[in-house]
Structure 1
């Protein structure tokens, strides 16, 4: 297992096989446009994680990264897809779908709890303790610490295993079709966020 760090794009010799790819992002905050994209993390679930860092002033060209994330035949795994696909759309100009969101799946099958963060989910489902100490650190710093890199890598390290366990529960509870419908809608939900409807339910009945 190794964490590989890259600047501005994936190297030409990096391969991720043919299966689903786990994806996460780190940014200066949670509002695309105000808060810039700093890091994209990737894993094919086979032991290595790849981190692609974008510095201040980047043009976000990243052709190899965009080709991978924009591949319509490759499933992308996220924990909070709504944010990740939104900020990558805003800065990379691609919609990184089709997708699977472990947070959404957790909400559909772990209705006995309101704790759906990655740390809680990994602990219950996989019995692994994640450190979230670097969650609120400065991702735009000129140099990222080893602790930051390890934290970023851990955010994609367990998504394949989580999907397998959550799929078992979705099938058991008869909620897989509903989950898939949610996953299919998430790109549109992210576009609504970017367009200014982040805090409004446009489907709600207002009277």
Structure 2
């Protein structure tokens, strides 16, 4: 298992075919204000790739864009709504089709309200991950080893979590409902970007 660090784009042919786990690190939680600093990606084979974007980046990244835009590759996320919006706003790519482990967890782990990645990895995979670097400065000139390891861990387990959660979704008869939610997520991200992040447009009031 190795973590590879790249500037501005992913090298060609470093990922195997099939689904890819994706995550992002930004300067904050307001997509239009807080720039995309880092994108993490993994094919599930044991390596993680981190792509850093500089403060004046144009986010062109042709190799990375091609993978994110590929309709034949499912993208695995934890809380896809945020990552989809960040990638769309800064890179101009809607990185779909989607499997979101957070939504899947909420649909099948109804015995708990703890649906964070750390809790999922602990319960389903019996492993522990540190979240100490979650709120660190991702826009600095250097990323520490701890920051890089934290970022890599956000995609390291998503393939295995997807497999475990699919078993539970199918067992509980909720796979079709989950897929409908996943399919809607790109539209939910577009609503966030367009100015409706906190409004339920389906509500009566």
TM-score exceeds 0.5: yes
**Deviation, structure 1 residue 16:** 1.4
**Deviation, structure 1 residue 82:** 0.1
Paired with 1:112 and 1:193, the residues of 2 have a C-alpha distance of 29
Q: Which 5+ residue runs of structure 2 have no aligned equivalent?
A: none
Query: Equivalent residues in 2 for 1:1-16 (5 A)?
Result: 1-12=1-12, 14-16=13-15
Secondary structure (helix, strand or coil) at the match of 1:197 reads coil
Q: Which 5+ residue runs of structure 1 have no aligned equivalent?
A: none
Q: Does 1:135 align with 2:130?
A: no
Paired with 1:89 and 1:175, the residues of 2 have a C-alpha distance of 28
Secondary structure (helix, strand or coil) at the match of 1:147 reads helix
Structure 1 stretches of 4+ with a deviation exceeding 2 A read none
Query: Equivalent residues in 2 for 1:63-78 (5 A)?
Result: 63-78=62-77
Secondary structure (helix, strand or coil) at the match of 2:180 reads helix
Paired with 1:9 and 1:162, the residues of 2 have a C-alpha distance of 27
Query: Equivalent residues in 2 for 1:1-207 (5 A)?
Result: 1-12=1-12, 14-206=13-205
Paired with 1:52 and 1:74, the residues of 2 have a C-alpha distance of 19
**Deviation, structure 1 residue 72:** 0.7
Secondary structure (helix, strand or coil) at the match of 2:195 reads helix
- Give TM-score scaled by structure 1 length: 0.98
**Deviation, structure 1 residue 18:** 1.5
Paired with 1:7 and 1:33, the residues of 2 have a C-alpha distance of 22
**Deviation, structure 1 residue 15:** 2.6
Instruction: Encode CA deviations 1:37-73: one digit per residue, 9 max, x unaligned.
Output: 0000000001000000001011111011000000011
CA RMSD of aligned residues (A): 0.6
Paired residues, number = 205
